[in-house]
Every structure is written in structure tokens, then in C-alpha cells.
Amino acid sequence: MTISANTDSKPRSFQEIILRLQTYWAGKGCAILQPYDMEVGAGTFHPATTLRSLGQKPWAAAYVQPSRRPTDGRYGENPNRLQHYYQYQVLIKPSPPDLQALYLGSLEAIGIDMEMHDIRFVEDDWESPTLGAWGLGWEVWCDGMEVSQFTYFQQVGGYDCHPVSGELTYGLERLAMYILGVDHVMDMPFNDPNAPIALTYGDVFKQTEEEYARWNFDVANTEVLLRHFEEAETECQAILAQEHVDPKTGKTIIMAHPAYDQCIKASHIFNLLDARGVISVTERQAYIGRVRALAKQCADAFVQTRAATGEAA
């Protein structure tokens, strides 16, 4: 079974917007990566962004990242708030001088006609206290709606970024709803609406939004989560405490990525605990500080690796 390809300037479905972004950024020379296979709060947590923005080695990658923000759950009822959603992430190091133009090109590629819409770059400095990272940039508005975050990374894991990476993050659902003219995320066509089995976003995610909202807010076992947090923290530090030279192979193997996985895990568990409402304001700062300490140690490890220095193996 086949359906005719969409030759209009306007995409017809959520997935078509993703596909167009993939094609566009592939055409601009980015490596199209796949989502990271762990629960993260945002595309920035993907090691292809956090770790790869460190060090000298040039880098250009784009990918979709499923992201989870337990506190944003609305049982699938809010027109555009979800506890599980998708981000499209682009990271180019060093940031090219025409990054704004490249970005605007991507909006045209997904069917936003610059002649009809009002695109604005509104100050929004980015900071991730858990990653010890910050940058300056904007949120990009299309007709008053935030469609992307545009950031020049200045520091990650406590390290100054040299060269500076340019990071673009698209909130895919909101952007797609706008382009497709849908008022409620659950009504958005996921695949081609002309397909024999046409699916909406709601067909795919309405039930899971309900299930996770209930679990996130009321059921998740906080004792277990607290224990997992501690375990991830301990494991992360234990990994990084290992000798750099592997006794079995005799190679220098700094395990920055496995340690960073534990850092991501701790961060997500913290978000779940936050959604369960068991973290007080003061404790909150302490937890964030603990995750940041892990991120910092992972950055310390990563900058010593070949992926950062660009040295040959």
C-alpha cells in the first residue's frame, strides 16, 4: 500500500515535519543521529549535545529526542502540554556565522512562509543548573508562539566552550500544531491523513499521557525513586573513580559516557520526585547541586577523551 508523496509546500502530518527537518539538516551537512535511549528532560541531555559541545573537535549533528517532563502532565487534556513530547535538536560547533539564516531556512522547509508570518528573536538566556551549563540566545517566536530555542553555548559542565556551539531546539508538537493548523495536540495527524490507517497524535499518545500523569503525580514509589537516585549517584562516581588504563585490554579507556548515563538517570529521577511533590524548596537546590556535581565530573572526564581533543586513537 502506498500513498502519493506530498508535493505541497505545506506538510500534512507530524511525522512529515520531522522528516523534512531531517532532510533539511542532512542537506546542511549535519550527521542525523537517533534519539538517545534513555529518559531525558530535553534534547540537550543527549551526549551528542552536552558532551560534544565540549572540547576542540568540530561537530555537527541533528536528531529527534523524546523528552519527559513529569510535572507538565495534564492527562492529555491540555491542548499543548504533555509529560512526554519530542524535541528536534541541532548542534553545530563552531557556530557558523549564518546560523540564523540556516535556521530560518529550516522553518521554510517545514512550510512556514516568511512572507506571511512574523518571526522574532526574543531574548532568552538558557541555563541548565543541573548541567552546570549556560548560553545566550533567544526563543524564536512565530506569530507570538515560541517555536524554537536558539542558544550560543558559553559554558557546559563548568567548562568554557571553545569554540562555541550553536544549539537549536525545536518543540516539535507545538511547531507542528501551528503549521498543521491544529488546536489540540491530540487531534494532530501523526501520519498522512490520507493513509488507509490514519492515526492522530491522540491515537498514539492520549492513553499514555493519562497513564503516566497518574503514575507521575500519585503512584510513583518515592522511596524506590529516592533509592535509585542514590544508586545512580554512587555508580556515576564509582565509574569515574576507575583507573583510566583498562587492566584487561591495556588501553586508556575513560568511561565518560557510561558515567554520564548515570547522571542522566539521576536527573530524571529527580524530575519524577519533583512531580510527586516530595521535594521541598531547600532540598530542591541540594538535589540540583548533586546532579550538577555529577555532570561536572562527567565533563571533567570527557574533556580528556579523544572525542573532545580530536586526537587520533
Partner 1 sequence: MPDLLIELFSEEIPARMQARAVEDLKKRVTDGLVAAGLTYAHASSFSTPRRLTLALEGMLAESPTIREERKGPKVGAPEKAIEGFLRGAGLTMDQLEERDTPKGAVYFAMIEKPGRPAAEIVAEVLEDTIRNFPWPKSMRWGKGALRWVRPLHSILCIMSDEAGTEVVPMDIDGITSGDTTEGHRFMGAGRFAVTGFEDYAAKLKRNHVILSAEERAEAIWADAQNLAFAQGLEVVDDKGLLAEVAGLVEWPVTLMGDIAEDFLNLPPEVLQTSMKEHQKFFSVKNPKTGRIEKFITVANRETKDNGATILAGNQKVLFARLSDAKFFWENDVRTAKAGASEWIEKLSNVTFHNKLGSQAERIDRIAALAREIAPIVGADADLAEKAARWAKADLSSEMVYEFPELQGLMGRYYAEFAGHPAEVAAAATEHYSPLGPSDDVPTAPVSVAVALADKLDLLTGFWAIDEKPTGSKDPFALRRAALGVIRLVLVNNIDHSLEGILDPGLAAHDGKPYSRPDEHTRFELMGFFLDRYKVVLRDMGYKHDIVDAVLSLQTGDVLPWSNARIASLQAFLSTDDGENLLQGFKRANNILSQAEDKDGVEYSYGADIKYAEDDAEKALFAALDKFEAPIAEAILGGDFAAAMAGLAGLRAPIDAFFEAVQVNSDNEVVRRNRLNLLARIRTLCLSVADLTKVEG
Per rule CB under 8 A, is residue 143 in the interface with partner 1?
Answer: yes
DSSP H or E stretch at residue 32:
strand 31-32
Distance between CA atoms of residues 127 and 300, nearest Å: 19
CA–CA gap between residue 311 and residue 313 (Å, rounded):
7
Write down the least CB distance from residue 123 to partner 1, Å: 3
Provide the residue type at 57 as one letter: K
- The residues in 69-108 that bind partner 1, with binding defined as CB under 8 A, are 74, 78-81, 94-97, 100
Q: Does 282 bind partner 1 (CB under 8 A)?
A: yes
Question: What is the size of the binding site for partner 1 (CB under 8 A)?
Answer: 41
Assess 122 for contact with partner 1 (CB under 8 A): yes
How far apart are CB 230 and partner 1 at their closest, in Å?
21
Q: Is 111 in the site for partner 1 (CB under 8 A)?
A: no
Shortest distance, CB of residue 117 to partner 1, whole angstroms?
6
Q: Report the run of H or E that residue 61 belongs to, with start and end.
A: strand 59-68
* Residue 10 burial (C-beta neighbours within 10 Å; 0-12, 13-18, 19+): middle
The answer to whether 251 and 244 have CB atoms below 8 angstroms apart is no
Q: Is 29 in the site for partner 1 (CB under 8 A)?
A: no
The answer to whether 247 contacts partner 1 (rule: CB under 8 A) is no
For residue 271, the surrounding DSSP H or E stretch is: helix 256-275
Instruction: With contacts defined by CB under 8 A, name the span among 155-163, 228-236, 250-258, 267-275 that binds partner 1.
Output: 155-163
Q: Can residue 135 be called a binding residue for partner 1 (CB under 8 A)?
A: yes
What does the DSSP 8-state code read for residue 186? Answer: G
User: Which residue blocks in 63-141 are alpha helix, DSSP H?
Assistant: 99-109
Give the residues lining the site for partner 1 (CB under 8 A): 74, 78-81, 94-97, 100, 114-123, 125, 135-138, 142-145, 152, 154, 161-164, 166, 178, 183, 280-282
